[in-house]
Amino acid sequence: MEQSPFLNLLSDERVAQALALMAQPKDARLTRELAREVCQRTASAASIEGSISSLGSQYVVGLRAVNCRSGDVLANEQATASGKEQVLKVLGEAATKIREKLGESLVSVQKYDAPAENVTTPSLEALQAYTLGYQTFVVKYDNPGAVAFFQRAISLDPNFAMAYARLGNSYSNMGQTARGAENTRKAYELRERVGERERFYIVSHYEGNATGNLEAARKTCELWAQTYPHDPIPPVILSAIYGYLGDYDKALSASQEALKLSPASGLVYGNLVSSYMQVNRLDEARTTSQEAQGHGLGSPAIHFGLYIIDFLQHDAAGMEREAATLMGKPGFEDFMLAAESDTAANAGQFVKARELTRRASDSAQRADEKETAAGYEAESALREALVGNMNQAKQGAKAALALSTGRDVEAVSAIALALAGDSAQAMRMASDLAKRFPEDTIVQFDYLPMIHASVAIQSGSGTKAIEALAPTAPYELGSPAQSVAIALYSVYLRGEAYVAAHQGGAAEFQKILNHPGVVENEPIGALAHLGLGRAYALSGDAAKARSAYQDFLALWKDADPDIPILKEAKAEYAKLQ
């Protein structure tokens, strides 16, 4: 049968590996039921079942090929041997005939899409649920849709380590960091039950999503990639880690490598689109999005990426089209409403932004995503504080903390409260974060410095704020949060600190303007122009200052007129005339 150009027979070694994942002895006798389960787990198309019976001095030899997923008979062959000496000859002839039949019938067999990696569970039903979750997550790039499948897999096998790990990752990607960490820790507790590749996945996500130690996660994934160079998962994870750390060239390289290894993944395409955006290669990001859609991999995340590309290329009609595509989709509607809220705030339209945030929060809560909803409220509170709406900032932070005290929610709320003047509460929250997340890269090197700097800025001590932000330098260009969008905020605060200390700060605000694909539609993208104008004014370059003020006022031409920072900007610009 191995001579057939149509057939690829499973090796004994591969069968033994499958049996081990099923908690069976590697040399277990392959009964009909066990053979079909091995067939399914290895993404094989069919199993060959043999039979032999005596009829007087004759022997009847039977072979049949069975679709191991549906149980349908694909081909059947029977032959009679006149004696024992003829059995092998007749068997060979039957095998040749059934081989020919299979060459025709297998063309019409739809291959069972098993997971790309092998995972350990004794329950075939749990594996099937996991498989559906895997396909929903990796192929469709639909984290909310994958959650129910992974939960089902865990209900069928409470010790299914990889199901916990995948569920934790899906939650983390949705901004539900507490749920993500909880399930990731459970997977970590079960890590000794699994194979090496599974262990790499679990440990790297434990480091990244539970302890938050991104440097440890990076090292684990890099070792994983060296150990299994053809595994597409390590570069996928590395692209995200490099993005968190602000190394966008490496993130792009990892995303490109992942696509080579896994060209049929909506997740990989989505990551590659983001990577192109982060290095400001917007045309390639759009082309990649269109390529994904052409391959039937146009996930909701792809539409969100196109929305941001349209924003950066000033295509209002395109933005409206992509936003409409995601309305009504659970797990994505709230994400898009939050993005539209950012767009409104970027233009100084805070009344509109607040309403969109309310709708995003309500949508997330209806989907039982309280931490995600809280993240929207916290981000709204921070931008209110940045423009001088201190009462709204305090109210927004309070609303966020009432929903969740997840890592990103508490940290961003603390920054907002610090800028709004409630330094005592902000410092209490900083102390809590330091205790809860002692190994977390983002907390220790981004959030805590920003909280301390915000307290110093509010108190009028720009110099102390500059000192407080020193630890953020290695990761300042990163995209740190999962449930809020605050990329480059440490850079913005450093610019504000330099202005407060009368030391200029133009270079900090220029960093923000140089990375539009990272900042996306965040309001600091517009506020950086004002910061640049103030920095140039302090250095005595009135011409550049006027130009920067004009850029800001043009972006905010339709802004709400009562925003404190807008009133200040108009007064400052008037003095430059």
**Spatial separation of the C-alpha atoms in residues 131 and 149, rounded to whole Å:** 8
What's phi and psi for 206, nearest 5 deg? -60, -45
Distance in Å from the first CA to the final CA of the chain: 88
Beta-carbon neighbour count of residue 526 at 10 Å? Answer: 21
Q: Side by side, which strands form the sheet with 73-81?
A: 46-55, 58-67, 73-81
Predicted confidence at residue 35, as pLDDT, reads: 86
Q: Cα–Cα distance between 65 and 9 in angstroms, integer?
A: 13
| pLDDT tens-digit series, residues 406-454 | 999 999 999 999 999 999 999 999 999 999 999 999 999 999 999 999 9
pLDDT(6) > 70:
no
Mean pLDDT of 56-79: 87
Q: Would you tell me the crossing angle of helices 407-419 and 390-403 to the nearest 10 degrees?
A: 160
Together in a domain, 41 and 101:
yes
- Cα separation, 157 vs 395, whole angstroms: 44
The structure tokens listed for 218 are: 């990076």
Residue 295 or residue 181, greater confidence: 181
Q: How would residue 530 be classed by pLDDT, with cut points 50, 70 and 90?
A: very high
Q: Are residues 571 and 463 in the same domain?
A: yes
Rounded CA separation 377/400 (Å): 5
Encoded tokens for 543: 């011409």
In 3-state terms the chain splits into helix, strand, coil percentages (rounded to 5) of 70, 5, 25
Q: Which of 318, 342, 365 is the last residue of a domain?
A: 318
314 and 406, same domain (yes or no)? no
d(CA 174, CA 158): 23
Sign of the four-CA dihedral 172, 174, 178, 184 = negative
Query: How far, in Å, CA of 269 to CA of 255, rounded?
Result: 8
Give the span between the Cα atoms of 446 and 244, in whole angstroms: 11
Element (H, E) at 50: strand 46-55
Largest CA-CA distance found in the chain, in angstroms, rounded: 113
Question: What is the per-residue pLDDT for 57?
Answer: 85
Residues 571 and 434 in one domain: yes
pLDDT at residue 206 is higher than 90: yes
Return the pLDDT at 481: 62
Q: Cα(346)–Cα(339) distance, rounded to whole angstroms?
A: 10
541 has pLDDT over 60: yes
**Residue 118 pLDDT greater than 90, yes or no:** no
Flag whether pLDDT at 115 surpasses 50.
Answer: no
Please tell me the distance from the alpha carbon of residue 61 to that of residue 49, in angstroms, as a whole number.
11
Q: Are residues 194 and 219 both part of a single domain?
A: yes
Give the mean pLDDT of 459-481.
92
Q: State which amino acid sits at residue 198.
A: E
Question: Would you list the DSSP string of 383-398?
Answer: HHHHTT-HHHHHHHHH
pLDDT higher than 70, residue 531? yes
Average pLDDT in the 37-51 region?
85
Whether 221 and 257 share a structural domain: yes
Segment 550-558 shows an average pLDDT of 98
Confidence band of 108 (pLDDT split at 50, 70, 90): very low
- Please indicate, yes or no, if residue 345 is contained in any of the structural domains: no
pLDDT of residue 85 exceeding 90: no
CA distance linking residue 86 with residue 94, whole number of Å: 12
pLDDT, tens only, 356-399: 999 999 999 998 899 999 999 999 999 999 999 999 999 999 99
Q: Is the pLDDT of residue 107 over 80?
A: no
**Phi and psi dihedrals of 181, rounded to 5?**
-65, -40
Give me the residue label for tokens 């019938």: 105
CA angle 375, 378, 381 (to 5 degrees): 150
Average pLDDT across the chain, whole number: 91
Q: How confident is the model over 63-77, as a mean pLDDT?
A: 86
Q: Is 114 part of any domain?
A: no
For residues 99 and 129, membership in a common domain is answered with no
In a domain, 339, yes or no: no
pLDDT in tens, 246-281: 999 999 999 999 999 988 888 899 999 999 999 999
Range 138-148 average pLDDT: 88
Domain at 52, CATH number? 3.40.50.10070
Q: Which carries the bigger pLDDT value, residue 558 or residue 92?
A: 558
* Domain end among 318, 333, 352: 318
Residue 119 lies in a domain: no
Q: Note whether 428 and 567 are same-domain residues.
A: yes
Contact of 94 with 126, CB cutoff 8 Å = no
pLDDT value, residue 569: 97
pTM (two decimals): 0.81
pLDDT band at 113 (very low <50, low <70, confident <90, very high): very low
Specify burial of residue 68 (Cβ count, 10 A radius: 0-12, 13-18, 19+).
buried
Q: Does one domain contain both 93 and 147?
A: no
CATH number at residue 529: 1.25.40.10
Which amino acid would we find at residue 269? Y
| pLDDT single digits (tens) 185-195 | 999 999 999 98
Residue type, 140: K
Domain boundary pick from 54, 81, 108: 108
Neighbours of 425 (CB within 10 A): 18
Strand 58-67, strand 73-81: pairing: antiparallel
- If asked whether residues 184 and 296 sit together in one domain, one would say yes
Question: What is the pLDDT averaged over residues 482-495?
Answer: 87
In-domain check, residue 332: no
Asked whether residue 95 is domain-assigned, the answer is yes
Counting Cβ atoms within 10 Å, is residue 281 exposed (0-12), middle (13-18) or buried (19+)?
A: middle
User: 194 and 275 in one domain?
Assistant: yes
Q: Where in the sequence is the domain holding 439, given as residue range(s)?
A: 383-471+480-576
The owner of tokens 């990889």 is 162
Domain identity same for 446 and 520:
yes
8 Å CB contact between 85 and 113: no
Residue 19 belongs to some domain of the structure: yes
Distance CA 358, CA 363 (A): 9
Q: Identify each DSSP E strand in 219-337 by its residue range.
A: none
How far apart CA 279 and CA 175 sit, in angstroms, is: 24
Q: How high is the pLDDT of residue 432?
A: 97
Element holding 167 (H helix, E strand):
helix 161-173
Q: What is the pLDDT of residue 410?
A: 97
Quote the number of domains for the chain: 3
- The pLDDT score that the predictor gives to residue 4 is 65
CA 543 centroid distance within chain = 43
Count CB neighbours of 91 within 10 A: 18
Considering the domain boundaries, does residue 370 fall inside one? no
Per-residue pLDDT tens for 265-274?
888 999 999 9
